[in-house]
Amino acid sequence: MEKILGIDVGATGTKGGIVDLKKGDLISEKIKLRTPDSKKPGDMIEVINQLVQAFEWEGKPVGMGFPTIIKDNKCWSASNIDESWIGFEIKREIELAANCPVYVINDADAAGLAEMKYGKGYKQKGTVILLTLGTGIGSALFINGKLVPNTEFGQLKFRDGVTENFASNSARLAKNMSWEKFGNELNEVLKYIDFIFSPQMIILGGGISKNMDMYQQYFDKELNVYPAEKFNNAGIIGAALAYKKYTKK
């Protein structure tokens, strides 16, 4: 059994679990901690370290999904976290703080990897898009099973803002949308993305994917949309998978 600790860092919550990579399932309890309100590096790294300590995982491999563009082991965006993350040496600093070998990947890309390996996207050819609906909208784009990293479909210009202003879970809560209203808003965003990319399949992840039966009836029938099979664990599982897939350790 190959075991890696997966950590999924979000703008509101940071959660982790030990993943069996052969099966693509958690083999431990899932621990979730609140992401600090400051969303600054020092405070968020302390919470990540608390998760490593909770699992008694010092010195062992950690895969981590993080809500930013990740290039050359640095952060390059800050849509829902503090701007001080931009240019931050995230891999180095977390390895120093947690005393673990770490691989860091965009959080939505991590969720997408899990769905393509263990979930709805398994062996799916052509273009597949995963969208995570949470504080914002994260995205992962795959072409014939290969990840095109660091897409930001939540930042696509839409109406008088960007897509995540209208169809993220936080937008639903902030605007007190009914499921019908949310379904219609999300449908417009999905049609927009479908028109640009013409995917074979769109997969919806994030915690709200568990409630898809409440709003999927408002989607256009031409859209090929499915809930993530790994639901809100996809980010944890995919982060662990990313460590194995992209490191030579």
Helix axes 41-54, 90-98, angle to 10 degrees: 50
The stretches of 123-205 forming alpha helices (DSSP H) are 164-167, 169-174, 179-197
Q: Among 128, 139, 151, which residue's Cα sits nearest to residue 202?
A: 128
**In sequence order, what are the residues at sequence separation of 6 or more whose Cβ sits closer than 8 angstroms to the Cβ of residue 210?**
227, 231, 232
The predicted pLDDT at position 69 comes to: 97
Q: What does the pLDDT look like over 182-230, one tens digit per residue?
A: 999 999 999 999 999 999 999 999 889 889 999 999 999 999 999 999 8
Q: Give the domain 3-107+234-246 fold.
A: Nucleotidyltransferase; domain 5 (3.30.420)
Cα three-residue angle 196-197-198, rounded to 5 degrees: 105
Is there a common fold for 3-107+234-246 and 120-228?
yes
- Which band of pLDDT confidence, cut at 50, 70 and 90, is reported for residue 1? low
Q: What does the pLDDT look like over 98-130, one tens digit per residue?
A: 999 999 999 999 999 999 999 999 999 999 999
Q: What does the pLDDT look like over 25-47, one tens digit per residue?
A: 999 999 999 999 999 999 999 99
Percent residues over pLDDT 70 in the chain: 99
- Domain residue ranges in the chain: 3-107+234-246, 120-228
The predicted pLDDT at position 207 comes to: 83
Tell me the pTM.
Answer: 0.94
* Spatial separation of the C-alpha atoms in residues 58 and 197, rounded to whole Å: 42
* Spatial separation of the C-alpha atoms in residues 81 and 135, rounded to whole Å: 10
Q: Give the domain 120-228 fold.
A: Nucleotidyltransferase; domain 5 (3.30.420)
- Which band of pLDDT confidence, cut at 50, 70 and 90, is reported for residue 249? low
The predicted pLDDT at position 145 comes to: 96
SS3 track for 64-99? EEECCCEECCEECCCCCCCHHHCCCCHHHHHHHHHC
